Amino acid sequence: MAGAAVSIVSTDALRSRAAADPKAAIKEAAKQFEAIFMQEVMKSMRQATLASGMLDNAGTQLGTEMLDTQLASQMTGLRGGLGDVIARQLERQTGVASTSTPTRAAPARPVPTAGSTPLEGGFSQTNGKERQLGFLQSNLSAARAAEADTGIPATFMLAQAAQETGWGQREIRNADGSSANNLFGIKAGSGWKGAVTEVTTTEFVDGQPRKMTQRFRAYASAADSFRDYAQLMKGNGRYTQVLASAGSAERFAQGLQAAGYATDPAYADKLGRVINTALRLQRVAA
């Protein structure tokens, strides 16, 4: 029931919120599931308690129900509680990106490697289907060209670009604010002779996040970014197994992480979820 302390949002309201802000809708739905569960727990506890019968009446029963609702409200929404568990499960099932900003460390190697996602302020984390489909469609031609060059399915690369850029909302920027068109977060090592841009990133160093300035490659177009990514996969021996396992989304994602593309321990899982989202969107659009 909808008590005074626990407000149950209507299904239509949740649908409307999900279209505008999936993360907020998931959090609200998880909170409601937790509230209902806690109310049922309190109800079961009351039923298991022997009543004296002397003072039991409709008034005391209503008061007890209101008290149970209040207690359930106080036990709902706690950090690390059932609501958080439900929210994480819903995010995995729906393919909504994790609430934490994906970051990764720069390996201490002279070989140019993929870098961390820059901390760009002011971007929306809304993952609407129209925007996601637009991102996939706008980069599909470049991804298919890279697929012909590497054997990596275009959808896998599109998903990785979506993971790195927040579906285009978290692009690496040049000093003048223009896009660096670096869709894969590839850093500019000592051997890189092209254009570069410097941005502040959060890196994992010895398992701890640190903010630092890093140099990233800058491209004239998104297609150039896909071409350079393909060259990195083919020309760097670290990614030999990635190319060999490109037939499986799971092995592809795990291979990238094992090869040192990212030091985020959850990178493979996050990328796997985005790949599944991209595949679902392509099936819908087909």
- Catalytic residue numbers? 203, 228
How far is CA 211 from each of CA 15, 165, 184, rounded to the nearest angstrom? 37, 18, 19
Q: Round to whole Å and give the CA distance between 179 and 197.
A: 10
Lookup result for tokens 């040049």: 174
Distance, CA of 46 to CA of 64 (rounded, Å): 9
Amino acid (one-letter) located at 53 = G
Q: CB of 248 within 8 A of CB of 242?
A: no
Look up tokens 């083919």; give the residue: 234
**SS3 state of residue 120:** coil
Q: Is 26 left (phi over 0), alpha (psi -120 to 50) or beta?
A: alpha
